[in-house]
Amino acid sequence: MTSEQITFIQKRQTISQIIWAVVVVYQLIAGIVTCCGGFWHIIPGLFLFCMGLWNTGRLIYHIILYPKLNADPQKLCHYWSVKLVRLIIALFLNFFIGGIFGAAAVIHDITLCVYVRENSTAGSDESTAGQ
């Protein structure tokens, strides 16, 4: 991949972290507020709050991981090229448990994953990078 493409991926990762931070805050606050809405709202509120906690873990993991990936463009491309299945699982969980905002954030990450897959020039070399 070219340096412009690597820079584009790095910028999209930063945007992804900002989106996920907003989603996490929304899910945690909305989960708490929903739980306080009465007996019939406790279960949906707990699900939303739990998705907020799970997404908080994912956000912290990515905050730690992204600087390491940015240091090595080959690892960066490999990371995003093999991430599609995990993103689809996260999309399912966020859509059905965590709400539409979480699903929108996952869709943003899926578009980045597809971009990397489509623009990889040495696909077989990148699939074995970092192993």
Structural domain spans, the chain: 3-127
CA distance 47 to 7: 36
- The amino acid at residue 128 is T
Question: pTM of the prediction?
Answer: 0.80
Residue 22: what are its φ and ψ, rounded to 5°? -65, -45
- Crossing angle of helices 42-71 and 73-81, rounded to 10°: 150
Average pLDDT, the chain: 86
Report residue 79 as tokens. 């990371």
Residue 92, pLDDT > 70, answer yes
pLDDT band for position 121 (cuts 50, 70, 90): low
- The amino acid at residue 6 is I
Residue 129, pLDDT > 80, answer no
> If DSSP codes are grouped into helix, strand and coil, which group holds residue 120?
coil
